[in-house]
């Protein structure tokens, strides 16, 4: 890992859930004059996907260059009508590592899990929010709690460079060996692709604020553990407080040890994890490490209201991160991820206020006597066995031969289907959406308290 390329002079805005994120992104696209670049894991043909389609088509028709890359596993089906409207308007819609024709769910590893938007090289967005209606509160009990960041300033050039490296591998004919296509039976640190000069990135935007920030990525070459290392460095430097909110939590030994050591030297370490998970095994996997963390003094809060999809953290009063990386084997060892690391007291304070409100009103503090350590199968060693198997699984998987992961035009992939399997929907009327009041609703914690 190279020394982080910190950029000063950035203006940041924390965006909570789709109600704040989608209107901000769509408005930026509506104002685009030259270029829009989007990377996302999930694009669904629901009311959010249709609203995004509308603003992208409008941008392309007025002469804006629009490139959008979706992941072939996360976005396995888009109807021909949906795709044709985009491509006929001039939108360049790409698919990262398209699924095989036999099955659209056979390639779950080494996915493009990043969520990035860059508009005109001046405005950027990064976080954990996909383009799907389940990031809106009105989706119901399964609506996800999540965060993203709008950023203006010099660090936007880093976001553009990151997205450009994926687009540089796109093909219009046959699959080619992209940055993840190297076939080896052992891990290696391949040479990093040459970066174009700054002018090709749209130059460095002028100073817009006071925040210092850097984009940190994870790939399967020179940046295998950069995001995890940034977490560990922040934990090692922590003096007073750490708050981590993460959807899928099953970190490796080094990161667990960093959390334990921070708690043992008196740092208040709080974890906000799944209490109502959208994937059943997510909570079960996280609970495998509850006992060892809680015995070290880590406080674990389970978010009770609905699934939490966040990938955010803060340390003390100045360091924070928002991005796409979970703290599980898939994100830390296999997927392509991107996080924004921030050193700014004002942004840290805003994020801290949001997370403290979750802990106070919408979470349940776990007790050590409720952990798996008191169950008979754990005492027989089953817990330790499962933990070590899951922890080493990504390393074993990384040693298998890797297939080429091309970035292809959507029309050349099995992603395009004759008709969407989702219920018919109309584009979301995002212009009329106002920010939520943020008043806490009754949750499992408040119910328990009332009883």
* Residues identified as active-site: 113, 115, 120, 309, 311, 316
Q: Using an 8 Å Cβ cutoff, are 241 and 316 in contact?
A: yes
Q: How far apart are CA 23 and CA 228, in angstroms?
A: 31
Nearest to 307 by CA among 334, 339, 272, 337: 272
Is 104 in contact with 74 (CB distance < 8 Å)? Answer: no
Separation in Å, CA 163 to CA 36, 118, 249, 396: 11, 8, 26, 29
Nearest alpha carbon to residue 126 among 342, 303, 353, 438: 342
Give the residue among 68, 93, 209 at the shortest CA–CA distance from 150. Answer: 209
Backbone angle region of 49, left / alpha / beta, with phi > 0 → left and psi within -120 to 50 → alpha: alpha
| Cα–Cα dist 101/184, whole Å | 25
DSSP 329-367: HHHHHTSBEEEEEEE-HHHHHHHHHHHHHHHHHSEEE--
Pair 41, 112: CB distance under 8 Å: yes
Q: Taking Cα atoms as reference points, which of 335, 312, 308, 315 lies closest to residue 323?
A: 312
Please say whether the dihedral angle defined by the alpha carbons of residues 43, 48, 49 and 52, taken in this order, is positive or negative: negative
- 14 CB contacts (<8 Å, ≥6 apart)? 147, 148, 149, 322, 347, 350, 351, 354
User: Which residues sit opposite 67 in a β-bridge?
Assistant: 37, 92
* C-beta of residue 288 within 8 angstroms of C-beta of residue 390: yes
């Amino acid at each position: 890992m190279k020394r982080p390329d910190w950029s000063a002079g950035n203006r940041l805005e924390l965006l909570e859930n789709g109600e704040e994120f989608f209107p901000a992104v769509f408005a930026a696209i509506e104002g685009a004059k030259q270029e829009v670049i989007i990377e996302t894991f999930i694009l669904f043909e629901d009311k959010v996907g249709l609203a995004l389609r509308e603003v992208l088509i409008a941008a392309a028709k007025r002469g804006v260059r629009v490139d959008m890359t979706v992941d072939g596993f996360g976005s396995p089906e888009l109807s021909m009508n949906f795709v044709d409207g985009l491509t006929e308007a001039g939108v360049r819609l790409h698919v990262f590592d398209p699924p095989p024709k036999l099955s659209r769910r056979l390639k779950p590893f080494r996915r493009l899990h990043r969520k990035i938007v860059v508009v005109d090289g001046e405005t950027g967005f990064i976080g954990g929010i996909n383009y799907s209606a389940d990031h809106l509160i009105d989706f119901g009990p399964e609506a996800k709690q999540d965060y993203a960041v709008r950023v203006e300033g010099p660090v936007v050039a880093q976001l553009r460079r990151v997205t450009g490296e994926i687009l540089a591998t796109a093909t219009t004919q046959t699959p080619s060996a992209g940055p993840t296509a190297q076939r080896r039976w052992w891990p290696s640190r391949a040479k990093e692709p040459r970066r174009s000069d700054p002018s090709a990135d749209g130059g460095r935007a002028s100073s817009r604020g006071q925040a210092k920030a850097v984009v940190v990525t994870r790939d399967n070459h020179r940046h295998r553990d950069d995001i995890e290392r940034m977490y560990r460095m922040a934990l090692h430097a922590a003096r007073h407080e750490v708050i981590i909110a993460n959807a899928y939590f099953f970190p490796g030994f080094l990161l667990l040890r960093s959390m334990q050591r921070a708690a043992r030297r008196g740092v208040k370490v709080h974890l906000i994890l799944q209490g109502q998970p959208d994937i059943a095994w997510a909570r079960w996997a996280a609970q495998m490490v509850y006992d060892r963390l809680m015995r070290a003094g880590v406080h674990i809060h389970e978010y009770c209201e609905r699934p939490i999809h966040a990938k955010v953290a803060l340390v003390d009063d100045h360091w924070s991160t928002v991005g796409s990386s979970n703290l599980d084997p898939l994100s830390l060892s296999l997927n392509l991820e991107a996080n924004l690391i921030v050193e700014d007291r004002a942004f840290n304070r805003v994020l801290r206020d949001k997370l403290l409100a979750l802990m106070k009103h919408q979470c349940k503090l776990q007790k050590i006597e409720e952990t798996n350590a008191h169950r008979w199968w754990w005492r027989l060693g089953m817990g330790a066995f499962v933990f070590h198997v899951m922890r080493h699984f990504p390393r074993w998987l990384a040693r298998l031969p890797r297939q080429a992961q091309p970035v292809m035009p959507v029309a050349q992939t099995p992603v395009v289907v004759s008709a969407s399997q989702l219920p018919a929907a109309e584009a979301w009327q995002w212009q009329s959406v106002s920010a939520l009041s943020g008043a806490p609703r009754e949750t499992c914690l408040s119910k328990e308290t009332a009883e």
